[in-house]
Chains A and B, each alone.
Chain A
Amino acid sequence: MKLITAVVKPHRLDEIKEALQAFGVQGLTVTEASGYGRQRGHTEVYRGAEYTVDLVPKIRIEVLVEDEDAEQLIDVVVKAARTGKIGDGKVWSVPVETAIRVRTGERGPDAL
């Protein structure tokens, strides 16, 4: 199995979710995150005092998949997340040793 993690622009969440559902993914986890890449942050002004806000709001999406689906699923996520502008985010995958469905105790790919 592989864990696909995507840190992307928050307003792309719905697109990504729909694309993953169409692909056949049964479940995913979304976390609100903040961070920056090459686009850095932005400037805000409060009563004339300027603040550089480095950390930009992002969402972090995590999906567990079987090995053979991983590459294709990454492509789906990248396509749905892309706006072509700076700050679109990153997607990566890592191998996963095991996964357990808490309710039934099923292990491995059966738990997905």
Chain B
Amino acid sequence: MPPGITTLAADAPELSAANTGFMLICSALVMLMTPGLAFFYGGMVRVKSTLNMLMMSFISLGIVTILWVLYGFSLAFGTDVGSVIGWSSDFVGLSGIGVTELWDGYTIPTYVFAVFQLMFAVLTPALISGALADRVKFTSWALFITLWVTVVYFPVAHWVWGAGGWLFELGVIDFAGGTAVHINAGAAALGVILVIGKRVGFKKDPMRPHSLPLVMLGAALLWFGWFGFNAGSWLGNDDGVGAVMFVNTQVATGAAVLGWLAYEKIRHGSFTTLGAASGAVAGLVAITPAGGAVSPLGAIAVGVIAGVLCAMAVSLKYKFGYDDSLDVVGVHLVGGIIGSLLVGFFATGGVQSDAKGLFYGGGLEQLGKQAVGVFAVLAYSLVVSAVLALILDRTIGMRVSEDDEISGIDQVEHAETAYDFSGAGGGAAPRNTPAPGTPATPTNKKVDA
């Protein structure tokens, strides 16, 4: 998030219809990332837990939207309190905001900024869900999201992007969420899985993705939505920086696809579909903090490095024995760290700010700031998320029973089956609805005997 474009509008900025329209479209694009992520993750699990995986993301669109309106926007972007949190009573319920009131220093209404940031808040907890596949009670997950955004995401978003937030004031560059979104979600995932443990059969049973086309579809939707996520984070188009971000998003992602595939071909012998989709997401994650600070050639470097290192990182779980089921740590935490630190090497000083990286004569100063941002968010999210998971686990329990996990969480938690390809309908018959054309009779009523 950039400082206000006060140089372009030295006096009070006026509402820009172009920027406002652009930002509303960007908000819709970011919204699409959450269901896109649901498909990306949903295709990667086994058939028996597809719906649960989809729902773990989708529920965030409900829960976090409401929390954001009630108090989230105020905590993240209200007036700074002690550099760690915000609060503005006008923002509570979004009810004290004027229709034409502009976000401070920008040319878009506060409502637009609020809804754009809302989409980020929705996506971030959904990212965590991939690490928890197949085994978490849905109500516990819903409660976890509620607590997590309240004590982790809203404060961290304030640190990184809020005026007065301590990482923002330190000069940490995080254009669109390398720390606040990706390191935050990846570290949270690691904290939670260390508490709740592995899936039944981890490292023993085959856990192949059940639908790679679904994974590819999800990756494509993420890539598409990410243009809004990244380019929109400049909150307007008055100086071309958003356009640079847009270009770098595409360039780094393409490079990361190639990087992941090349590593995989050399190491494992094949160019896999899952590798291509994963490489795309790794590149998108890594360019998120960096794309406003680097040149397109720098973006290629960021993408290739992220693609290769994330491809290597996804194997760590087998070595260390933590069940990061769909590689949230390997892709989002590692990718976020790579992108955030590479700013310290590749920042040209000629795009979003004049801060230069090591390769452009800026010395180690920016790299040091980036490292502080990375470590602060990683440590805070890891510890607090683990504590939240521990509290929930000791009270209502985080996991479904072993039997339910083995037979499949979809039927236990959602009373549904993802796919019915059999002409016999899986033997399903209506229990309480009368046959067509016959009036309901008492015999059709459910009897609790």
Contacts and interface: CB of A to CB of B under 8 A. Distances in A.
Interface of A: 44-51, 53
A53 B208 CA distance: 10
A48 B268 CA distance: 7
A45 B267 CA distance: 11
B270 A47 contact: no
A85 B315 CA distance: 35
Interface string B195-216: 0000000000010110000000
Contacts of B269: 45
A51 B209 CA distance: 11
A44 B314 CA distance: 16
B400 interface: no
Contacts of A49: 315, 318
B413 interface: no
B275 A51 contact: no
State the 10 A-B residue pairs at the shortest beta-carbon distance, nearest first.
A48-B315, A47-B314, A45-B268, A51-B206, A46-B274, A45-B270, A47-B274, A51-B208, A48-B268, A45-B272
Interface in B257-273: 264, 267-270, 272
A15 to B, nearest CB: 25
B219 to A, nearest CB: 13
A46 B208 CA distance: 7
A76 to B, nearest CB: 29
B327 interface: yes
A46 B264 contact: no
Interface residues of B, number: 17
27 contacts: A44-B208, A45-B264, A45-B269, A45-B272, A46-B209, A46-B272, A46-B274, A47-B272, A47-B274, A47-B275, A47-B278, A47-B311, A47-B314, A47-B315, A47-B327, A48-B264, A48-B267, A48-B268, A48-B311, A48-B314, A48-B315, A49-B315, A49-B318, A50-B268, A51-B206, A51-B208, A53-B206
A53 B209 CA distance: 13
Interface of B: 206, 208-209, 264, 267-270, 272, 274-275, 278, 311, 314-315, 318, 327
A48 to B, nearest CB: 5
Nearest to B44: A46
A47 B311 CA distance: 7
A81 B272 CA distance: 31
A48 B319 CA distance: 12
B314 to A, nearest CB: 5
A53 B207 CA distance: 11
Nearest to B327: A47
Contacts of B311: 47-48
A46 to B, nearest CB: 6
A44 B268 CA distance: 10
B256 to A, nearest CB: 14
A48 B260 CA distance: 11
A31 B22 CA distance: 54
A101 to B, nearest CB: 21
Nearest to B263: A48
Contacts of A50: 268
Given A49-B315, A51-B206, 5 more contacts: A46-B272, A47-B275, A48-B264, A48-B315, A51-B208
B326 to A, nearest CB: 9
Contacts of A44: 208
- Residue from A45, A48, A49, A53 with most neighbouring chain B CB atoms (10 Å): A48
